[in-house]
Structure 1
Amino acid sequence: MANLPVTLAEIEQAARRIKGRVLETPFVLSAALTERCGVPVGLKLEHHQTTGSFKLRGATNAVLSLSPEARARGVVAASTGNHGRALAHAAKAEGAIATICMSRLVPENKVSEIRRLGANVRIIGKSQDEAQVEVDRLVAEDGLVMVPPFDHPAVVAGQGTLGLEIVAAMPDVATVLVPLSGGGLAAGVAAAVKGRSPRTRVIGLTMERGAAMKASLDAGHPVEVEEVESLADSLGGGIGLANEVTFQMCRALLDDVILLSEAEIAAGMRHAYREEREVVEGAGAVGIAALLSGRLGRLDGPVAVILSGRNVDMGQHLRVANGGDAA
Structure 2
Amino acid sequence: MTKTRRRKLKILGVCGGNGVILHPLRRYVIGNIEDRGVFKTPKNLQWYTNFKVPFVDDVMVAGFLFKKVDIVIGAPNCGSSSILGFTGNKKRKNPTDDPSMKMYFETVLKYNPKIWIMENLPALLNHITMQDFKEKFPDYLFVFHTMSMAELGNSQKTRKRLVIVALHKSLPAEVYMAFSQVEPQAEPKRIKDLIGDLEKDNPKLANVREPGKYKIKMGKKAYSMNDIKVTWDENLKGKKYWPMDFEKKDSPYIPGVYRLLPENFPQTVRQDARQFRPDGKPMSPRELARIQGIPDKFKLYVPEEVTHGKKPSYYINRARITVAKGAPYELGLWVKEKIKVARKFL
Is the TM value for this pair above 0.5?
Answer: no
TM-score normalised by length of structure 1: 0.27
TM-score normalised by length of structure 2: 0.26
